[in-house]
Structure 1
Amino acid sequence: MTDEVDGHKAPRGNRRKPKSRAYRIAKIAGIVLSVLVLIVAGLGTWLYNKFSGNLHTVSIGGSMGAEKADPYGRTPIDFLVIGTDARNNAQDCQLGGDCGSSGYGNADVEMVVHISADRSNATVMSIPRDTMVNVPACTDPNDPKNTTTGYYGMINSALSYGPQCQMQTIHDLTNIPLQHFMMIDFSGVVNMSDAVGGVNVCVDNNVYDTYSHLKLAKGTHTLKGVSALEFLRSRHGFGDGSDLGRTYAQHMYLSALMRQVKSAGTLTSPTALYSLADSATKALTVDNGIGSVGSLLNLAAEAAKVPTSHITFTTMQTMPDPSNQNRLVPAPGAQSLFGAIVNDQSLSGGKSGSSDASSTSASAAPTPSASASPTTASFPAAQIDVQVENGSGVNGRGSDLANYLTGKGYGSGTTAVTAPQNVSTTELHYGNYSTDKAEAETVAASLGIPASHISSDPSMQGVVLIVGTDWTSGDTYPGGTAKPAPVDTKTALQDSHSQTANDGNVCAPVSTQQTVELNGVPMSPIQAYAAAANVPNSAP
């Protein structure tokens, strides 16, 4: 950082800057696409009342945060998918192995689903249930006696105080706005897998999880009913035997379910569509904002626009809890993943709603005002160096803004100097390098500088901010609306075990560690498979 000094004038006409180019139950998101695609495909409005009557609805006190519209007035959609371990009926008790959990249960699956503003891409982020977080003070709107003053504990325990508490806990952790939730139980998974005729999954070795009872030979299998639940519940069979391995396997299952739902065999069969709609709506508990089939269909119609190749599954980056090696805490890299979702950045190679004006339905959208703050930013802040010239007449003003930008992640080459003279109007100039304009728009979005204050200067390279007497304090241009600087998507995806929904060539990695026991002897799931020849496989 270079501090501005009186008498150190910025050269005019040749400014150059150094460029520092330096799944526990995947079912619900599947249900979303299912219900979306299926009734849109033609079941007819006469079934709305029947399917709406299947739904279980729970009130929440409102959404957590608000999505930001893109230049065309479109907003992203964010909701939480919850898989509960509650055993509130005979089928759940049988499938779950006991009836020890009642009420809402614990959220053994937590997936944040983000659908971009332009509907060109989506991100599904799993949060491992073993993550330790601060659960805020909560009161269940449906039971005022069910309340907590807040505590430090496993993230999945927040559901015991109601879905709203679970949503609030995740919003506080990630800053991702959440509008709705969808929750499903054990029996819902079984019925959904049966309704689509089974889901194809692959395992890269023989596996026998003696806890979930999943037993499969190496290769691809079609899972139905209980075998599907065993696969989704298995945490000792995959990866390192933790909840992380289970989330990766769930993403594979959900991807396969989505492909199955969109297949011709499902969409062209009235019987299959009816069964899918009936099973999906019976399985769901949703918030009152989407507590009808009509509302779900609207949501489904939006989600169905996203091709499977642009649906990215990720897992929040974690590391062992220093206080308890059997628990997790968010890793520093998770902040980049959260930021990418909040910024509506595509993580799948698709076009993000905030960066492409020509994407789906853009031609029918209104043209953004010339005075609107640009939101076409597509460059990570770390790749942008800004020269800040202080023409405000306030000593140190340039340094304040330069420090603010570097604090927001802008390049270490960001500098502050004194302008040759004071100017009345703040201006943002960019050079003739091919990426300079996009970089200037990124800076403008971060500072709330309107498009009318941005212009090109062919004699320079890079981005130069000239601060005028109209902006003598604060980090956002008066009257402007600052937007977060985009994050590096490669950094956001690092260690997140990402994959896209159209990838059908991935096999779940069976654990090679001693994560299970058979007859009291610790062994790997591979060894357990060989030692349990008398136990039938979960699927042929």
Structure 2
Amino acid sequence: MSAESTPESGIPEPAETGPRHRGKGRRRKPRSGSRKALLVTAWTAAGVVVLGGTGAGYVYFKLNGNLRSVDINQALGNDRPTKVDNGSENILVLGSDTRSGKNKKLGGGADDGSARSDTAMIVHVYEGHKKASVVSIPRDTLVDRPRCTDTKGTTHPAASGVMFNESYSTGGAACAVKTVESITGVRMDHYLEVDFEGFQQLIDDLGGVTVTTSKNIDDPQSHLDLKAGTHTLDGEQALGLVRTRHGVGDGSDLGRIQLQQAFIKALIDQVKHVGVFTSPKKLYDLADTATKAVTTDSDLGSVNSLVDFADGLKGISSSHMTMVTMPVRYDPADPNRVLPAKSKARLVWNALRNDEPIPKSATQGTATGEAQGVVS
């Protein structure tokens, strides 16, 4: 499975098909004003809904103190796509690859404090909040990053033909949002980010997530060794699964995205059946971990705001969630990079703007990573 770049990338675009060359508070802001872990952040935050109703002041303030937020709107200003007031919402969800502290071991690499967006997804919640579409953006996509100002006020010049995840490592959340909006022409109403350590702990707090693999997965780099069959993955194994790229498919980031999408659906189904709402301790542990793990935009930067947000997602089951990858094609100059398949991507972005289903034709004939169906 498998978006368009605006402005144009400046990189010649060959045919889009062909083989790979391996060689908030209770008070809502008016809608007219502007909505890894990955998608699970929002779902586990739903636990705050119950806790918030208990009147437990300590719990409320404890969870509120866990949250970190960034003021995306102030950093980006008014030079953004127009907010479409049709009842839908778009959320950019990033899984951060912060290489410091405990995340060094989980992320690999040097303990240099650097950070990258290891996973990026646009979550479009349709009017009525009963269904959603999720569009994964491959981190290895070559894009034109626009000039952007980060939340500390530092301005970064534009760059052409750079990897998508370079936007986050350059200017953090604000530059990542700016780049996504430039590529898609779709305004992001909210921003959610979760780190490796938080993701792993969330899965452990849930008691693991059950998945079925149709093939053996063996990737020493992500410390994952699974035989074909059904497994209940703990946090470390789950993190290995959503990060592996060498153990399945063609070894690309596209294959990893296929695994991430399948895992998220399994995770959502499991959250609905683990009985967290009947176990106060499990509920607290989940809410405590989720609020520690997540960084949000400032509009979601309080427990009450996160309650409103999470409450609006509770009705979306995995069966009402469409998951695709941004339409891309392999870069003929570098088999480890992909380029936006712009005409097909335009179908995706137009669908999101108009609050319509993503047409199947948008992803037909595009690069996939060859890992579909490995995990369910």
- TM interval, shorter chain, is 0.7 to 0.9
Q: Conserved in 2, the CA contact under 8 Å of 1:107 and 1:156? A: yes
Give SS of 2:72's match.
Answer: coil
Which of 1 and 2 has higher RCO (CA within 8 Å, sep 6+)?
2
Q: CA RMSD in A?
A: 2.2
Give SS of 2:260's match.
Answer: helix
Q: Tell me which amino acid in the other structure corresponds to 1:48.
A: Y
Q: Tell me which amino acid in the other structure corresponds to 1:86.
A: T
Aligned to 2:132: 122
- Work out which of the two has the higher radius of gyration on C-alpha atoms and give 1 or 2: 1
Aligned to 1:187: 197
Q: Report deviation, 1:346.
A: 2.9
Aligned to 1:40: 49
Gap change, CA 1:299 and 1:54, over 3 Å in 2: same
Aligned to 2:352: 341
Identity of aligned residues (%): 36
Q: Report deviation, 1:210.
A: 2.1
Q: Distance in 2 between matches of 1:257 and 1:133?
A: 31
1:69 aligns with one of 85, 107, 122: 85
Q: Conserved in 1, the CA contact under 8 Å of 2:136 and 2:326? A: yes
Q: Tell me which amino acid in the other structure corresponds to 2:234.
A: K
Q: Distance in 2 between matches of 1:248 and 1:292?
A: 33
Q: Report deviation, 1:50.
A: 1.0
Aligned to 2:334: 324
Give SS of 1:239's match.
Answer: coil
Q: Tell me which amino acid in the other structure corresponds to 2:166.
A: S
Give SS of 2:212's match.
Answer: strand
Q: Report deviation, 1:329.
A: 0.5
Q: TM-score, normalised by structure 1?
A: 0.58
Q: Residues 201-222 of structure 1: CA distance to partner in whole angstroms, max 9, x if unpaired? A: 2211222112212101111111
Give SS of 1:61's match.
Answer: helix
Higher share in helix: 2
Aligned to 1:55: 67
Q: Conserved in 2, the CA contact under 8 Å of 1:201 and 1:507? A: no
Q: Report deviation, 1:147.
A: 2.4
Q: Distance in 1 between matches of 2:367 and 2:304?
A: 35
1:154 to 2:166 alignment: no
1:164 to 2:163 alignment: no
Q: Conserved in 2, the CA contact under 8 Å of 1:85 and 1:101? A: no
1:276 to 2:286 alignment: yes
Structure 1 runs of 4+ aligned residues shifted over 6 Å read none
Listed as ranges, the gaps of 5+ residues in structure 2 are 1-35
Q: Tell me which amino acid in the other structure corresponds to 1:51.
A: L
Aligned to 2:91: 79
Q: Distance in 2 between matches of 1:274 and 1:100?
A: 31
1:94 to 2:110 alignment: no
Listed as ranges, the gaps of 5+ residues in structure 1 are 1-24, 348-488, 499-504, 510-540
Q: TM-score, normalised by structure 2?
A: 0.82
Gap change, CA 1:307 and 1:149, over 3 Å in 2: closer
After TM superposition, the structure 1 = structure 2 runs for residues 313-462 of structure 1, keeping only pairs within 5 Å, are 313-331=323-341, 332-347=343-358
Give SS of 1:263's match.
Answer: coil
Q: Which moved more, 1:45-54 or 1:125-134?
A: 45-54
Q: Residues 30-71 of structure 1: CA distance to partner in whole angstroms, max 9, x if unpaired? A: 1102212x232455353222111111222223574343233x
Aligned to 1:427: none
Q: Report deviation, 1:151.
A: 3.3
Q: Report deviation, 1:268.
A: 1.8
Q: Distance in 2 between matches of 1:338 and 1:323?
A: 27
Q: Report deviation, 1:171.
A: 0.9
Gap change, CA 1:298 and 1:200, over 3 Å in 2: same
What is the number of equivalent residue pairs in this alignment? 329
